[in-house]
Amino acid sequence: MMTKQALTDLILEKKTALGLSWADIASGVGLSPTFVTSACLGMNSLKPEFADKLVAILELPAEAKAAIEACPMKTWEQTVPTDPLIYRLYEVVGVYGPTMKELIHEEFGDGIMSAIDFSLDIDREANPAGDRVVITMNGKFLPYKSW
């Protein structure tokens, strides 16, 4: 069976060889670019009907279908990644995490934002001082319960 890492490596090769963008691939699959990219990088899985489309678009071998449908192991090898972009996201949470927690608790009460019932969008906003990255995280609020 193909591993998630072997699948990711193959997907990246095929994406480059076919000259496709993540938006192209996601459009063909019928899901958001964020979710499809995450699945292609091994952090999510696709349901069979979407896996079939991905395999066809990227001209992947049949064994790739099982790998893209397999439940992922969502782990990180480092406490804080050293890739500058990913590191900056950790920095944002490090600096603003306690503020976000306070504001969420004040607005919603004691609980968490779901990362399961969740969407993530990445957009570009034109700005004369330099284009802006707009990251929108949208997660269902899950209150803690007393028992």
Active-site annotation holder among 63, 91, 102, 119: 91
10 alpha carbon, distance to own chain's centre: 18
> E-assigned strands of 1-147?
111-125, 132-143
- The beta-strand segments (E) located in 14-131 are 111-125
Helix (H) or strand (E) holding 136: strand 132-143
Could you give the CA distance from residue 68 to residue 48 in angstroms, rounded to a whole number? 9
Our answer to whether residue 88 is catalytic in this structure is yes
Q: CA 147, CA 143: separation in Å to the nearest integer?
A: 13
Catalytic residue among 13, 21, 59, 114: 114
Residue 91 annotated to the active site: yes
- The residue from 21, 59, 63, 88 that is catalytic is 88
CB burial class (10 A; 0-12, 13-18, 19+) of residue 97?
Answer: exposed
**Does 124 participate in catalysis according to the annotation?**
no
The two three-digit tokens of residue 68, written as one number = 């893209």
The catalytic residues are: 88, 91, 114
